[in-house]
Structure 1
Amino acid sequence: MTQKTNRFILRERTNDVHATLESAVGQFSDAETYIRYLRGMMTFRETIERQLVSAAASVVIHGWLPGEIAPLLRKDLEDLGQIKPKAASSFDLPNDRQGLLGVLYVLEGSGLGARVLTRRAEKLGYSPSFGARHLASQISRADSWNSLLGLLDEIATSDIDRTVQAARMTFKVAIDVFER
């Protein structure tokens, strides 16, 4: 019998909230729905990234640091004449490694779909220099996901519950932002 890696345990145990988030985000097919997506992502990411920057010493794990896209999301919104974001949501960044890795699983995982989202954004006329900077940044950090997977695999399977809990909490914050 093959043992599941932590990545697959996380995916399996967060699948329901991930699907709910994807449904709440929806598809963008025009400027209006793209702006909605950008505003939601910026609100979600800015809330969490602000805390990650404040806790930088505990976030750097074996020299690896998660990608920051909130400033790029803000610039993308400014390109489109949308400078007023939604109200920030509340988020309590975990102060333990297992919990922090659960948060990072969600943040870094969002970059996996960036290639698909980039193609959609391009069809709307957005590019790495106008309106879709954050997507270009996520694509440029493709190795970051693999680095995170290595860190996740360092967690003892018996400790994965805390990581799952934090990942689920992070997904729920994002769902809350997009459902408002």
Structure 2
Amino acid sequence: MNTQTSISALSTLSARLRAETNTTHERLDRSIMEAKPFDNIENYGRFLRVQHGLHHHVAPLYRSADLAAYFPGLNTRGRLSDVAQDMADLDLPRPEITAAPATETVDLPEALGWLYVVEGSNLGAAFLLKYAKKMGLSEAHGARHLAEPPEGRAPYWRAVKSALDAVELSPPEQALAIKGAAAAFATTRDLVRTHL
């Protein structure tokens, strides 16, 4: 069985998204860490600019009634205001963004792909928060956007995956979800290239 066949045979949307984006995800993680965002506050400030850009682009997802039907409480999960407060804590100016959010007009399947990426980043944030704490930052000062969800990272991620997997999508719609995840990673990669 070739790789493409084995990926399309995966039974859940979250498993397909993971399989289709794993290499891109690993490359992006490497490029972020190679920029040494936790070596000093100046580098961390550039990292916050990346985060601010990403969360600007995904902010419409957290206001989406379509997504809220599958993800209860989603409107409380957005982290753009946390990133903005982290920047204010460190006396960093917020970037001026003139572009419309990338997710402003995406349909439900693509939105699911974007949400998979941005909510999945919360798992890795556990490690990033440890690095931030070594610089004297915390969930209450400078690293709010890295804070653990109230129910814990692993239980929250399981709930997100379960909700993703409960959405019934046709094969073409699943392809759109994968396209959305790829777009989320590409947008983040572009932000990393610009700011880090």
TM-score, normalised with respect to structure 2: 0.79
Q: Kindly, what percent of the aligned residue pairs are identical?
A: 26
1:63-142 correspondence runs (5 A): 64-66=72-74, 67-85=77-95, 87=97, 90=100, 91-93=102-104, 95-138=106-149, 142=153
Deviation at 1:70, TM superposition (A): 0.8
Deviation at 1:163, TM superposition (A): 0.9
8 Å contact 2:71–2:163 — kept in the other structure?
Answer: no
Aligned equivalents of 1:144, 1:5: Cα separation in 2: 18
Deviation at 1:43, TM superposition (A): 1.3
Q: 1:3 to 1:40 in 2, by over 3 A?
A: closer
Q: 1:40 to 1:89 in 2, by over 3 A?
A: farther
Aligned equivalents of 1:89, 1:14: Cα separation in 2: 25
Q: Secondary structure of the residue that 2:92 maps to in structure 1?
A: coil
Structure 1 gaps of 5+ residues are none
Deviation at 1:59, TM superposition (A): 2.5
The letter for the 2-side match of 1:153 is: D
Counterpart residue number, 1:165: 179
8 Å contact 2:71–2:160 — kept in the other structure?
Answer: no
Counterpart residue number, 1:60: 68
Q: Which has the higher contact order (CA 8 A, sep 6+)?
A: 1
Structure 2 gaps of 5+ residues are 1-5
Counterpart residue number, 1:148: 160
Q: Deviations over 1:25-54 (max 9, x none)?
A: 2242221221111111011112221x235x
Counterpart residue number, 1:22: 29
8 Å contact 2:13–2:165 — kept in the other structure?
Answer: yes
Bigger Cα displacement from structure 2, 99-108 vs 86-95: 86-95
Q: Secondary structure of the residue that 2:178 maps to in structure 1?
A: helix
Aligned equivalents of 1:76, 1:92: Cα separation in 2: 23
Q: Deviations over 1:51-82 (max 9, x none)?
A: 235x5312202352432111011111111110
Aligned equivalents of 1:89, 1:18: Cα separation in 2: 24
Q: Secondary structure of the residue that 2:142 maps to in structure 1?
A: coil
Q: Deviations over 1:89-148 (max 9, x none)?
A: 551445432221111101100100111111100000001111111111557663432222
Q: Deviations over 1:137-170 (max 9, x none)?
A: 5576634322221122223472421111111011
Counterpart residue number, 1:44: 54
Aligned equivalents of 2:135, 2:99: Cα separation in 1: 28
**Count of aligned positions:** 178
Q: Secondary structure of the residue that 1:38 maps to in structure 2?
A: helix
